[in-house]
Structure 1
Amino acid sequence: MSTFSSIKELLNTLSREHKLLAEMFEKRKTLSYRQEFALELVDQKEERLQYLMERSVIRPNGAFVELDEQFLRFFEQVLEVNEEINTSYIHENIGHVKQNILYYLQESSEMRRFSYLKAVKGSLVKIGRITIRNIIDLKRNIDNTFKTEPNYKVKIAKLENYDNKRVDINRLIDQTELLVTEEEETFFRAAMDVELAQIVNHLRLLLSEARNNLIEIQKQILEYLNQIRHQSRLMEKIRQLKYLKDQFEIRSKTNLMDYLRRSNDVVFETNPTYPLKLSLDYLQSDTAFEVIAKVNRKLKVGLRPRLPSAGSIATEYIMGHTLEEIHINLEEVKNGFEASGHHLFDFVMRYQFPKEVPFAERVTIFCQMLSLYENDFNVTDKFMQHQEIEFAVVYPG
């Protein structure tokens, strides 16, 4: 078995075979991945597949290939999709903290003491991150087990196992808090700097949050177990009654008929309900949004506010009024001017418009016609004056 000679070789290999590794990781929960499918993703080059096998990135399994456990765990931890609740990581980091604190207190070299202090800081950061990550995975696994596991006995066994994991995490949280507050008080007083103080304070906040989440998880597990046992007992009784009914022995071997005749209050009792708390992953999905929107639309039915009716409209507002406006057709005025023997200003002043047009408006009409039909008229160099208005003498063109 060969190993990677450098980090550069490892990164180049993962980059070159990213299609195959991504496909195998997405299908990691299936039993195995066929070797011919893997060859398609490496361009049918068996030497590339053999290269991955020699360096234990993947491993053969007959006609199939699988991701090596080491790389599979690495991908799951980095992408934070691992389902395994592993409290040994927390325990190992607590041990590393104690060992490096001991080395720090016994070391006289400042450079080596600094390296041990750095290792302590790194382990404390890992403890907080791993603890929160384990609690998130624990909560998700509990919800998935309750909602997807079809076998009642397996479901109960899994939930009880997760409860044991909860107890282990809680015990490690207590050990960590005891470590940073009492057991190694001498070290934290002697080696305390700004960075270490920030790390310790942040760690204690994370542990406090983790403890509160574990209390909620404990309540959730107890609630799920009670629901499962209630459903299990109910289903068992139903199966027994179904069996007796199929054997035509339900009347002879049970007092069901007498019980039903004596009981008059069953129909008035409400059915026991066990509300489910939806996971955050589900609430963030598009399906949950559609369901919430649908429920919201149903709840709003019949809650439309009544708008006050408007009063009756007054008669004067609905009476018809006709407005007439007389428009002066400048084209018609131009045609009349071309047929006349007068210059333009004199013609406009004498023209009979369909309405009364004052002098100032007639001067405006003169200017408009001169502007619109300048190319059709003959504008001379001669000027005349009328009521303090000087104008050019204009004849038809």
Structure 2
Amino acid sequence: MNTFNDIKELISALKREEKLISEMFSKRKSINYKYSDALALVDYDENRIDYLIQRSVVRENGGLLELDDQFLEFFEQILDVNEEINLSYIDENIKNIRENIDYFLNENNENKKYSYLRFIKKTFRKMGIITLRSVVDLRRNIENTFKNEANYKNKQLKLENLDTKRKIIENLINHTLKLINEDEITFFNRALDEELNRIIIELKHQLGESSHNLIEIEKQIIDYLNQIKHQGKFLEKLRKLKYLKDHFTIEAETDIKQIIAAKNQVIFETRLSEPLNLSLDFLRENEKAFETIKKIAKNHKNRKQDKPILADRISDEYLESNIESEVMINLEEIRNKFVATSDNLFNFILNYDFHKEVDFDERVTVFCQIISQYEQELVVEDDFQKTNNIEFAIVYSR
């Protein structure tokens, strides 16, 4: 088996065949990738595929190609789409940290002590990310199992196994916190610097977030298992009734007639709603789901669609620009003209030309408005007069 000579050769090979590798990665769960399909993505140059096979980027088996497990795991880890939860990796990191702490405390050479400390920092940094990722993968696997596993017994068994993994992650979190807070106090007193302190604070935050998520996951698993238990009991009873019905012994071996007669209100009882929403990953990647979607779309293809009713053409007269002008009463202008006269205010307004038709009531309103707004500039006499049954005070300008 050949290997890449350096990182530059590896990156160049992945860049050159990015179209093929990207397509194989996206189809890794839905189809078996054929050698003939891969040729179309490398311009029908078999040497390019042989190059990847020789360097274990892809593997060939009976005319089918698949990404090598090492590269597949690398891509899934980097893109955060992996579904396998590697709990042993977290446990191994804890053991490695304990070993290197012992090496650090026993070492007198400063250079070697620094190398041990650097390894401990790097491992602590990885542990928080790996734990968070494991919790996310656990939640994803739980939802996919409950929504996509058709066999009830396998669904229950898988959920119970995932719950066991949840407990393992919880124990690993507790061991990590115990390592930091209790078991290695001497190490942290000797080696604690600003960088290590920052890493430990971030790690505690990540582990705390993971613990809160695990509590929600536990509730979710309990809810799913209860739903499965309820559905399983119902199906079990249904199978027994069907068996008795098929053998024509249901009336002889059960009291079904008496129960139905006494429970005629069952039809009015509310049904237990347990919706099962299909996951987007299942709809995107499963070929059978795609075929079902196409069949449904075909059935709705000939459905009569109501055409929108078009409105009549707008008449041109509605589009014409009509300007409507209105003469406004300017109180300040009236006041200025009144000041220049010796007439009383009411008589002045009664005979004033407003350049539009203004009735007697509106002129009385203008009279009151001017007195209200320009009271300081007017003299209101004690003398009163009466016009059209309206009694008014005599008002002059100062």
Q: Report the AA paired with residue 250 of structure 1.
A: I
Q: Does 1:237 align with 2:266?
A: no
Question: 1:75 matched to which residue of 2?
Answer: 75
Q: Distance in 2 between matches of 1:83 and 1:263?
A: 48
Identity %: 52
Aligned 1:371-382 pairs, distance under 5 A: none
Question: 1:200 matched to which residue of 2?
Answer: 200
Q: Distance in 1 between matches of 2:263 and 2:206?
A: 55
Deviation string for 1:287-342 (max 9, x for gaps)? xxxxxxxxxxxxxxxxxxxxxxxxxxxxxxxxxx9999xxxxxxxxxxxxxxxxxx
How far apart are residue 109 of structure 1 and its match?
2.1
| Contact preservation (8 Å) 1:100, 1:116 | yes
How far apart are residue 30 of structure 1 and its match?
3.6
Work out the number of aligned pairs and report it. 286
TM-score (norm 1): 0.68
Question: 1:120 matched to which residue of 2?
Answer: 120
- The structure number with the bigger radius of gyration is 1
Q: Distance in 2 between matches of 1:279 and 1:29?
A: 15
Deviation string for 1:348-379 (max 9, x for gaps)? xxxxxxxxxxxxxxxxxxxxxxxxxxxxxxxx
Q: Report the AA paired with residue 203 of structure 2.
A: L
How far apart are residue 209 of structure 1 and its match?
1.7
Deviation string for 1:73-96 (max 9, x for gaps)? 000000000011111121121122
| Contact preservation (8 Å) 1:83, 1:141 | yes
Of 127-136 and 205-214, more deviation after overlay is shown by: 205-214
How far apart are residue 70 of structure 1 and its match?
0.4
Question: 1:147 matched to which residue of 2?
Answer: 147
Tell me: CA distance 1:249–1:12, structure 2 relative to 1, closer, same or farther (3 Å): same
How far apart are residue 31 of structure 1 and its match?
5.5
Q: Report the AA paired with residue 192 of structure 2.
A: M
Tell me: CA distance 1:157–1:208, structure 2 relative to 1, closer, same or farther (3 Å): same
3-state DSSP class of the match of 1:59? strand
| Contact preservation (8 Å) 1:101, 1:116 | yes
Q: Report the AA paired with residue 134 of structure 1.
A: S
Structure 1, unmatched stretches of 5+, are: 283-320, 325-397
Query: What is the Cα-based RMSD across aligned positions, in Å?
Result: 2.5
Deviation string for 1:255-295 (max 9, x for gaps)? 1111122335545543334577998999xxxxxxxxxxxxx
| Contact preservation (8 Å) 2:147, 2:278 | no
How far apart are residue 246 of structure 1 and its match?
3.4
3-state DSSP class of the match of 2:197? helix
Tell me: CA distance 1:30–1:10, structure 2 relative to 1, closer, same or farther (3 Å): same
| Contact preservation (8 Å) 2:148, 2:278 | no
Tell me: CA distance 1:44–1:278, structure 2 relative to 1, closer, same or farther (3 Å): closer
| Contact preservation (8 Å) 1:152, 1:228 | yes
Tell me: CA distance 1:9–1:109, structure 2 relative to 1, closer, same or farther (3 Å): same
Aligned 1:1-397 pairs, distance under 5 A: 1-30=1-30, 32-263=32-263, 266-267=266-267, 269-274=269-274
How far apart are residue 4 of structure 1 and its match?
0.7
Deviation string for 1:55-88 (max 9, x for gaps)? 1101110111111000000000000000111111
| Contact preservation (8 Å) 1:140, 1:279 | no
Q: Report the AA paired with residue 230 of structure 1.
A: H
Higher relative contact order (CA 8 A, sep 6+): 2
3-state DSSP class of the match of 2:23? helix
How far apart are residue 46 of structure 1 and its match?
1.2
| Contact preservation (8 Å) 2:147, 2:277 | no
Q: Distance in 2 between matches of 1:86 and 1:4?
A: 27
Tell me: CA distance 1:279–1:125, structure 2 relative to 1, closer, same or farther (3 Å): farther
How far apart are residue 129 of structure 1 and its match?
0.5
How far apart are residue 125 of structure 1 and its match?
1.0
| Contact preservation (8 Å) 2:149, 2:155 | yes
Q: Report the AA paired with residue 176 of structure 2.
A: T
3-state DSSP class of the match of 1:60? strand
3-state DSSP class of the match of 2:47? helix
Of 240-249 and 42-51, more deviation after overlay is shown by: 240-249
How far apart are residue 233 of structure 1 and its match?
1.2
| Contact preservation (8 Å) 2:39, 2:46 | yes
